[in-house]
Amino acid sequence: MNKIMVALSQRISSHLDIGLLIFRLGIGGMFMWHGFPKITGGVVKWAILGKSMEVLGIHSGLVFWGFMPGFAEFVGGLCFLLGFFYRPACLLLVSNMFMAFTTQTLEGTGMLKAAQSFEDGFSFIGAFFVGPGKYSIDAYLGFHSSEQKHYYRIS
């Protein structure tokens, strides 16, 4: 069994960049899908979304605060998907998930609702450190080294 696991691990680890591409396409695409109705919803939708900032004591600029989640999810998701300005996009999405988690928690929606924001936020923190991989616009433009060193000890 050990030999099978070692062989599988060695074979899969040589395709890490494909795994990163699949991760970026899936997560980035879903964030674009969630962000599209928010960013195209217009001023009325943005004001409704921005109203959640009142739990933090912010009562002005609600249209701006409502626009930002749509921007973060759609534009950040697109950048994440393409691997373009990948790390800034990760930070934008982490901050969006932090705000979503905070407002959902303070509004009392319960951990079942807030947990998804928490989990997504940690995914973007991890993605920030891992990088977009060699199949990304950042790697193509030289913003990210596609020659990452991966050190694994397989016994």
pLDDT tens digits, residue range 3-36?
Answer: 888 888 888 878 899 999 999 999 999 999 999 9
User: What average pLDDT does this structure show over 57-70?
Assistant: 95
Q: Is residue 38 part of a domain?
A: yes
CA distance 45 to 67: 8
Q: Is residue 2 part of a domain?
A: no
Q: Is residue 20 part of a domain?
A: yes
Fill in the amino acid letter for 6: V
Four-point Cα dihedral 27, 32, 37, 40, nearest 10 = 160
Q: Is residue 153 part of a domain?
A: no
Number of domains in the chain: 1
pLDDT for 145 equals 66
Q: Is residue 3 part of a domain?
A: no
pLDDT for 152 equals 46
Terminal C-alpha separation, the chain: 13
Hey, how many other C-beta atoms are within 10 angstroms of the C-beta on 3? 7
For residue 109, the enclosing domain spans: 13-141
CA distance 131 to 148: 9
Hey, how many other C-beta atoms are within 10 angstroms of the C-beta on 114? 19
Residue-wise over 35-51: b if at least 16 C-beta within 10 A, else e? beebbebeeebbbebbe
CA distance 48 to 29: 24
Q: Is residue 1 part of a domain?
A: no
Q: Is residue 88 part of a domain?
A: yes
Q: Is residue 152 part of a domain?
A: no
Both structure tokens of 52: 């959640």
Confidence class of residue 92 from pLDDT cuts 50, 70 and 90? very high
Which three-class secondary structure state does DSSP give residue 150?
coil
DSSP state of 60: S
